[in-house]
Amino acid sequence: MSTMKAVRIHNYGPTNTLTYEEVAKPRAGEGEILIRNFATSVNPFDCAVRAGYVTGWYTYGFPLTLGLDISGIVEEVGAGANHFVPGDAVWARSDPALNGAYAEFVSVSASEIAAKPKSLDHVDAAALPHVGVTAWRVLVDTANLTEGQSVLIHAAAGGVGSFAVQLAKARGAKVIGTASTANLDFLSALGADEIIDYTKTRFEDVVHDVDVVMDNVGGETQERSWAVLKPGGILISIVQPPSEETAAKYGVRQQFAGGYPPVGPVLADIAAMVDTGKIKPIIATVHPLSEVGKAHELVEAHHTRGKQIVQIAD
């Protein structure tokens, strides 16, 4: 088979720029592994790429196959990429500078791949790579969140947020999450210690002296978050670089963080947590590849609980 189905964009724009089409099947280059992709998911990053909002960070050529999350089977191993053999069940997060996961086959650097959690099927596994790596970079690599500390997680019911709640609890932290009324019970079931309904309560009125703020919203929410940190605490955003000047004014630290590559070792650590029951995927809806545009619309509505999954193969 020399061709495959994929969803690409030929220019930036709304969801109708997503095109389901027949394209050339990639090969595994040096240091790469070709994966037969069984499932992916739609992340807010995908929507931002499609709309042209990340051109200040990444330069893409057209046509561009979107998508970051990959769960599938090794199809072909390139020279020097001897981490896996054909037939291995793997998961991966494509480099955001490349994308490529909305396709039946995707070639990925071996450094972005790990063995898939044994306890998950491909559909469930596809919910975790990008959000998991992003939350890990924030809470583990940047904040070094430890037992007994406290963290405020904004948009805690979303894809990144729901993973972050579970990761923070697994590290022994006190977890405070903001969410809408419909998601309060959901966050309680995930293990959040305190949940704030942002439609009824301003979080800064009830939250004080936390060690870490994880900002998944930006804008006014970020600005209101400085006051809830203890001296020396840290505000980490995945959506908007926090102000160094404002951080200094409050006597705290700031960082802009994301799921930067390589991610293979992080995915291996996350897989171990999944298989021991510390992390579970949260799935909202499963779509066929041909209807990925519907998933984009749901993600852009900003009220999705967990992840929008795209099933590519059975």
Give the number of residues written for the chain. Answer: 314
Q: Which of 148, 145, 164 is nearest to 156 (CA)?
A: 164
Total domains present in the chain: 2
83 pLDDT more than 90: no
Query: Do 135 and 242 lie in a common domain?
Result: yes
Query: Do 122 and 170 lie in a common domain?
Result: no
Residues 157/179, Cβ–Cβ less than 8 Å: yes
Query: Do 20 and 33 lie in a common domain?
Result: yes
In a domain, 270, yes or no: no
In a domain, 266, yes or no: no
pLDDT digits 0-9 by tens, 266-304: 999 999 999 999 999 999 999 999 999 999 999 998 766
**pLDDT at residue number 306:** 79
**pLDDT at residue number 258:** 86
Query: Do 202 and 288 lie in a common domain?
Result: no
Query: Do 108 and 151 lie in a common domain?
Result: no
Query: Do 18 and 120 lie in a common domain?
Result: yes
Q: Which of 240, 256, 272 is the last residue of a domain?
A: 256
Residue at 83: amino acid letter:
H
In a domain, 154, yes or no: yes
In a domain, 268, yes or no: no
- What six digits make up the tokens of 43? 């992340």
**pLDDT at residue number 108:** 97
**pLDDT at residue number 305:** 79
What SS3 state is found at 199?
A: coil
Q: Which of 312, 307, 272, 265 is nearest to 288 (CA)?
A: 312
**pLDDT at residue number 303:** 65
What strands, in cross-sheet order, belong to the sheet with 64-65?
19-24, 3-9, 64-65
243 pLDDT more than 90: yes
207 pLDDT more than 70: yes
Query: Do 121 and 135 lie in a common domain?
Result: no
In this prediction, residues 220-228 reach a mean pLDDT of 97
Query: Do 215 and 203 lie in a common domain?
Result: yes
d(CA 204, CA 124): 35
Query: Do 252 and 240 lie in a common domain?
Result: yes
In a domain, 187, yes or no: yes
- Pairing outcome for strands 229-237 and 253-256: parallel
In a domain, 7, yes or no: yes
Query: Do 87 and 140 lie in a common domain?
Result: no
Q: Which of 220, 239, 256 is the last residue of a domain?
A: 256
Query: Do 119 and 28 lie in a common domain?
Result: yes
d(CA 213, CA 206): 14
167 pLDDT more than 80: yes
Query: Do 61 and 175 lie in a common domain?
Result: no
Q: What is the CATH number of the domain that holds 156?
A: 3.40.50.720
Whether the model clears a pTM of 0.85, i.e. scores above it, the answer is yes
In a domain, 276, yes or no: no
In a domain, 293, yes or no: yes
In this prediction, residues 191-220 reach a mean pLDDT of 97
Residues 219-248: b if buried by 16+ CB within 10 A, e if exposed:
eebbeebbebbeeebbbbbbbeebeeeebe
pLDDT digits 0-9 by tens, 141-152: 999 999 999 999
Q: What is the CATH number of the domain that holds 15?
A: 3.90.180.10
- Under DSSP, the state recorded for 25 is P
Q: Which of 54, 101, 110 is nearest to 309 (CA)?
A: 101
pLDDT digits 0-9 by tens, 253-269: 999 998 888 999 999 99
Residues 6+ apart with CB under 8 A from 24: 2, 3, 4
Residue at 155: amino acid letter:
A
Residue 108 structural domain = 3-128+281-311
